[in-house]
């Protein structure tokens, strides 16, 4: 599954370099990286890779002791101020951060 996510990220944001992945792995995706800054770009990424992203995110949530990816998301943010795009952004950033950790072995 991770191989599919790596390919998806690389296809979506081919200009990301090793140093970008290091920064993402160390500091998180919310700092703004090519392909993962604007809502439209992120939503497109998630929509194109939804099945793989959801499979991975559900497994991650389970591994972390959550009952669902929604519970994991709720634990990270104030749900009263969120919409579906916020959820998609969260999923994309989780995936990007996990891909960065694998690519940099951090």
What pLDDT shows up at residue 66? 93
The whole-angstrom separation of Cα 47 and Cα 105 is: 27
- Below-50 pLDDT ranges, the chain: none
Tokens 């690519």 sit at which residue?
103
Contact call for residues 36 and 93 (beta carbons, < 8 A): yes
Residues in the chain: 106
Q: What is the residue extent of each domain of the chain?
A: 2-104
What pLDDT shows up at residue 79? 65
- For residue 83, the Cα-to-chain-centroid distance in whole angstroms is 17
Q: Which residues contact 23 (CB under 8 A, 6 or more apart)?
A: 31, 33
Taking phi over 0 as left and psi of -120 to 50 as alpha, with beta for the rest, 33 belongs to beta
């Amino acid at each position: 599954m991770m191989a599919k996510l790596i390919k998806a990220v690389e296809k979506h944001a081919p200009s990301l370099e090793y140093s970008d992945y290091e920064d993402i792995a160390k500091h998180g995706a919310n700092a703004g990286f090519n392909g993962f800054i604007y809502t439209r770009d992120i939503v497109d990424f998630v929509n194109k890779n939804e099945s793989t992203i959801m499979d991975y995110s559900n497994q991650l949530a389970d591994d972390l002791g959550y009952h669902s990816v929604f519970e994991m998301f709720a634990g990270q943010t104030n749900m009263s101020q969120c919409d579906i795009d916020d959820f998609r952004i969260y999923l994309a950033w989780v995936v990007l951060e996990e891909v960065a950790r694998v690519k940099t072995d951090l």
